[in-house]
Amino acid sequence: MEESGQIRLNKATREWVIYAPSRRKRPQDFQQRSQEKPTLVNRVASCPFCEDGQHQSELILLELLDPDGKGWQTRTIVNKFPALTPDNSTQRSEAGIYMAMASYGQHEVVIESPDHHQTIATMPLAQVEILIETYHQRYMTLMEDPNNMMAIIFRNHGRGGGASLRHPHSQIIATGFVPRNRRIQEEEAQRYFDQWGRCVYCDILEFERHERKRAIEENDSFFAFVPFAAEVPFEIWILPKQHKADFGCISPREKSDFASILKNMLLKLYEKLNDPDYNWAIYTAARYKAEEPQVHWFCQIRPRLTTPAGFEMGSGISINPSLPEIDADFLKR
């Protein structure tokens, strides 16, 4: 493995990433040794997501029961402090030389377990499968609304990841517009397809599965790896092997395989890096793009192990002190 610095180009986004191995610590030095350990109790009286904290029935959007049918396993509720609300208009308006619109959208919280101390990494696989089913059902419901241009499923873990509560939960936000970041990614994928006649993510998938330098794990339906131009240490992408633009098209078998590989990737971070703060999100097609051949849905996991500083803010370029090949080798060993 070369020790000299590199600047790598992300094939999917055409964003450059600077690699500075001279700043690199040993992979195990990224462990968050000061991370507060969770108190292993099933219920916390002050937690609004614990089963004892009863939710108003009108706020509950979906409940899925545990395999024994004795209680709820996941519960989706309206966010009490929403970033966006559905009772607004999607109409744009001018404000002098500027443009604005009302804060239209839908903001939901998925409570992933009745148990306060659980996390996806430590849940039984059957529980994670129920969670993926919850995501899919809510995603399909939200995208039935023609005002919703995109539904974003994401999870914030730990204080550094923006989580305000320890109880295991994730969120879904549907927007009446397509965020610029997602539109740029779609446009880059379109340019690649127009030039080569192929999906850029399928090409990345084929190359990474063949080269194996950054591969971590795969099953029948998904492949997990550290991307060639990872922006942060231990960044992970999980790509479906079959080309699909829309998360809504996931099959029952793929749901089970996605649950398995997502749990395994988070368990590796949990065990090898001492449960670091992280964010993950599902990148899926915007409305009207769900059938197009250049868009490929995937899941991205970004641990919060470094802090962006002035250069990153001023240039938009990430500096990663850890090489993807070393990170992948550490995670899969």
SS (H, E, C) 151-180: EEEEEEECHHHCCCCCCCEEEEEEECCCCH
**Residue 198 DSSP label:** S
Q: Which tokens is 180 given? A: 């610029």
Q: Looking at the predicted structure, is the pLDDT value of residue 165 above 80?
A: yes
Q: Which tokens is 15 given? A: 């964003």
Does the domain at residues 42-177 carry the CATH identifier 3.40.50.300? Answer: no
Q: Looking at the predicted structure, is the pLDDT value of residue 29 above 70?
A: no
Binding residues: 47, 50, 116, 167
Q: Looking at per-residue confidence, does 132 or 18 come out higher?
A: 132
CA distance 206 to 71: 43
Question: Contact at 8 Å (CB) between 303 and 321?
Answer: no
What are the C-alpha distances in Å from 157 to residues 79, 170, 213, 293? 17, 9, 28, 33
- pTM reported for the whole predicted model: 0.90
pLDDT band, residue 104 (cuts 50/70/90):
very high
Domain spans of the chain?
Answer: 42-177, 194-333
pLDDT at 54: 55
Question: Contact at 8 Å (CB) between 157 and 277?
Answer: yes
Q: Looking at the predicted structure, is the pLDDT value of residue 149 above 70?
A: yes
CATH architecture of 194-333: 2-Layer Sandwich (3.30)
Q: Confirm whether 107 is a catalytic residue.
A: no
Q: Looking at the predicted structure, is the pLDDT value of residue 2 above 50?
A: no
pLDDT at 58: 60
Beta bridge partners of 279: 156, 302
Mean pLDDT along residues 215-232: 97
75 — phi, psi (to 5°)?
Answer: -140, 125
Mean pLDDT (the chain) is 89
Q: Which tokens is 129 given? A: 């499968």
pLDDT at 32: 65
Each residue's pLDDT tens digit, 295-313: 999 999 999 998 888 988 8
Q: Looking at the predicted structure, is the pLDDT value of residue 56 above 80?
A: no
Residue tagged active-site, from 169, 210, 243, 296: 169
268 contact partners, CB below 8 Å, separation of at least 6: 216, 331, 332
Query: Same topology for domains 42-177 and 194-333, yes or no?
Result: yes
Binding residues for Zn(2+): 47, 50, 116, 167
Nearest to 150, CA basis, from 297, 293, 12: 297
Mean pLDDT along residues 67-93: 87
pLDDT at 1: 43
Nearest to 325, CA basis, from 208, 191, 202: 208
